[in-house]
Amino acid sequence: MRILALGDIVGHVAIDYLAEKLWAFRAQNKIDFCVANGENATEIRGISAADAEAILGTGVDLITLGNHAFGMKDIYSYLDANEHCIIRPANYPTDAPGVGYTIFGVNNWRVLCINVSGRVYLDPLASPFDTVDRILDREAGRYDVALLDIHAEATSEKLAIGRYFDGRVQVMFGTHTHVPTADEQVLPLGSGYITDLGMCGPQNGILGTDADAVIHRFRTMMPTRFSVADGPVSAQGVIFDVDEGAGKVRKVTRVSF
């Protein structure tokens, strides 16, 4: 099984870019399943129901989210109605809209897909360690391969989660910081891991955002309206080659297109 994980989608320009490029990339690279983080899809802060639908039409099978999951009010009912194809961090309180994991059928294999948020420099949610432990216990016997989007700020927290679940969650990747890291690896017990996938969006700005606005914010510390940057767009992510029968990842490959 080949799983493509794409970094945070930033703005409508990135959705349009994926609509143009992703199906061909999937075909050329024999991708069986594609997951992408969509929490910045609607002009940086959140995702609308319409944009979620658009992303799912580009060739993305599952959307994960993060700390901006609830930035757009119309996503609340969409999350509840589409639990099979869009998930928010599982360590939010249980009465939050949507769900934090789903089981996706891929080539007769069952992929347990989980989304969690880190707590360092982010909201003080439930422990991502305990949350994933409970999900794995609850769904034991109902899945063949597990996947985890660790939406977190701190590299150390992502690495700690990756090491803790090595051998129990086969595919693990970080999102949120929008810069691809160079630590793609197969961990000692066979799990594939990378600290951050990068992003799908304009590369000339700052994390996909207009550079002048971000610089103004840092220099003045005044409230600033952010907008999506102009310029060339690219998509960044990782391909995980999974041996489903052995429950291990054979190879982790960074990609950009």
Question: Known catalytic residues?
Answer: 68
Determine if residue 37 is left, alpha or beta; phi over 0 gives left, psi from -120 to 50 gives alpha, anything else beta: beta
